[in-house]
Amino acid sequence: MEETLTALKDVRFVLNTAIVLIEHPGDGETKKKTVIGIVKEFIKSNHIVIPVPNAILEYILGFAVDWIVNWLNNNIWKKDEQK
């Protein structure tokens, strides 16, 4: 169980890092697919077993990307609204 939780923390770290590294204006869906691809490749290359079907994993990763980007947009990458 501890090994699984550690692996999931690593996956979360890669997800967050990939989102920040891939960020640039526009191309939202392309960036999302790229981030999901990076995370899936990390999972595969590290022999991490996620006990859900691939379609569900992609749904979860897509939701996570949207949620994290939304949080970053609202809290870190705020546009200057003072003007």
Are 67 and 15 within 8 A, CB to CB?
no
Task: Kindly report, residue by residue over 32-73, the tens digit of the pLDDT.
Answer: 999 999 999 999 999 998 888 999 999 999 999 999 999 999
Which of 78, 75, 71, 69 has the alpha carbon at shortest distance from 32?
A: 69
Q: Which amino acid is at 5?
A: L
Could you tell me the residue range of the domain that residue 23 belongs to? 2-75
pLDDT confidence bin for 80, thresholds 50/70/90:
low
Domain membership of residue 60 (yes or no) is: yes
Backbone angles phi, psi at 21, to 5 degrees: -70, -35
**Structural domain count, the chain:** 1
- Residue 45 identity (one-letter amino acid): S
Structural domain contains residue 44: yes
The whole-number average pLDDT for the span 72-81 is 79
Q: Does 47 map to a domain?
A: yes
pTM for the whole thing?
0.84
Contacts of 23 (CB under 8 A, 6+ apart): 31, 72, 77
Per residue in 53-64, pLDDT tens? 999 999 999 999
User: Residue 82 pLDDT > 60, yes or no?
Assistant: no
**Is position 82 within any domain?**
no
